[in-house]
Amino acid sequence: MSPAQLHADSIVIDGLIIAKWNRDLFEDMRKGGLTAANCTVSVWEGFQATINNIVASQKLIRENSDLVIPVKTTADIRRAKEQGKTGIIFGFQNAHAFEDQLGYVEIFKQLGVGVVQMCYNTQNLVGTGCYERDGGLSGFGREIVAEMNRVGIMCDLSHVGSKTSEEVILESKKPVCYSHCLPSGLKEHPRNKSDEELKFIADHGGFVGVTMFAPFLAKGIDSTIDDYAEAIEYTMNIVGEDAIGIGTDFTQGHGQDFFEMLTHDKGYARRLTSFGKIINPLGIRTVGEFPNLTETLLKRGHPERVVRKIMGENWVNVLKDVWGE
């Protein structure tokens, strides 16, 4: 099978996209052969603002139903593949939208939210993000984890503090994930995960999606798709071929104001970090270039069976487990 044929035949899942929602993005998803994606609908927003985001997103999906469908189950992911469309999974990058109400967890699940990051960079009612002194998982956080397990929402730890992450991994009765991260073994950064952290999540049945966000790659904005593939390989050597997938963190279509919002606590308060110039790795600058990743992994000697797993099959398996299907 040629690289193009394998890509067209595979289930291709991106574990994290925070790009600008519009038809242009959906068209590029189809160009890239994307079967499904975890698309961020909440970062700093509380309950009401997140509901508003979901309302707007549902309307956009309806208006572009020739390109995309909503995903609530892994059967929906397979249906998207059969129909030649992209399945949209709603995801949060912060549990802040749950506020202090356990009941909101199930409400969001019913609206199609399948993955929730426990904290985004800083402290919330659940635990601590990766840019603050880590106080660990709170008592309320333990209740949130249990409720997410019950209703079938995956706990994401990508930008969560090390201690909080460890405690979520131990507390959760279902697999948890780093939906989008890079190994600090290739570049030291607060957002990246140590070999020990990667091994710990894998040893406890968890999952790792590897990002290509340039500021966290060793060569930064000079990175290429081969540098991204190297990060995937480095991570896979630690977690194994069944616990790894893609989580690009595509920010396609957003301007500087968006990054200013992301890099300030609560979206407006103290500055947490500065990403600097952001250019995706050469060869996968846009979602539409996804087929190049399949080709690159094959060229680097990975068998078709493993490439299929990395590109999406592993995500389907772990989501099926977490979603209780």
Domains and CATH numbers, the chain: 3-323 (3.20.20.140)
Q: What type of residue sits at position 291?
A: P
Q: What is the pLDDT along the chain (325 residues), one digit of tens a residue?
A: 899 999 999 999 999 999 999 999 999 999 999 999 999 999 999 999 999 999 999 999 999 999 999 999 999 999 999 999 999 999 999 999 999 999 999 999 999 999 999 999 999 999 999 999 999 999 999 999 999 999 999 999 999 999 999 999 999 999 999 999 999 999 998 889 999 999 999 999 999 999 999 889 999 999 999 999 999 999 999 999 999 999 999 999 999 999 999 999 999 999 998 888 889 999 999 999 999 999 999 999 999 999 999 999 999 999 999 999 9
Output the pLDDT for position 262. Answer: 93
Q: Which residues contact 191 (CB under 8 A, 6 or more apart)?
A: 130, 158, 159, 181, 182, 216
- 42-66 pLDDT per residue, tens: 999 999 999 999 999 999 999 999 9
Check: pTM over 0.95? Answer yes or no.
Answer: yes
Place of tokens 């409720």: 147
Output the pLDDT for position 190. Answer: 83
Between the alpha carbon of residue 119 and those of residues 29, 55, 126, 186, the distances in Å are: 27, 23, 7, 24
Alpha-carbon distance 43 to 260, whole Å? 13
Output the pLDDT for position 67. Answer: 98
* Residue from 19, 59, 55 nearest 40 by CA: 19
Alpha-carbon distance 159 to 91, whole Å? 14
Q: Measure CA of the first residue to CA of the last residue in the chain; give whole Å.
A: 31
Backbone φ and ψ for 90, nearest 5 degrees, come out as -80, 135
Q: Helix/strand/coil (H, E, C) string of 237-262? A: HHHCCCCEEECCCECCCCCHHHHHHH
Place of tokens 């690009």: 248
Output the pLDDT for position 281. Answer: 97
Cβ contact 197:157 at 8 Å:
no
- 177-220 pLDDT per residue, tens: 999 999 999 999 888 999 999 999 999 999 999 999 988 999 99
Alpha-carbon distance 150 to 304, whole Å? 35
Between the alpha carbon of residue 39 and those of residues 43, 51, 69, the distances in Å are: 11, 15, 12
For residue 117, the SS3 value is: strand
C-alpha radius of gyration, the chain, whole number: 18
Output the pLDDT for position 164. Answer: 98
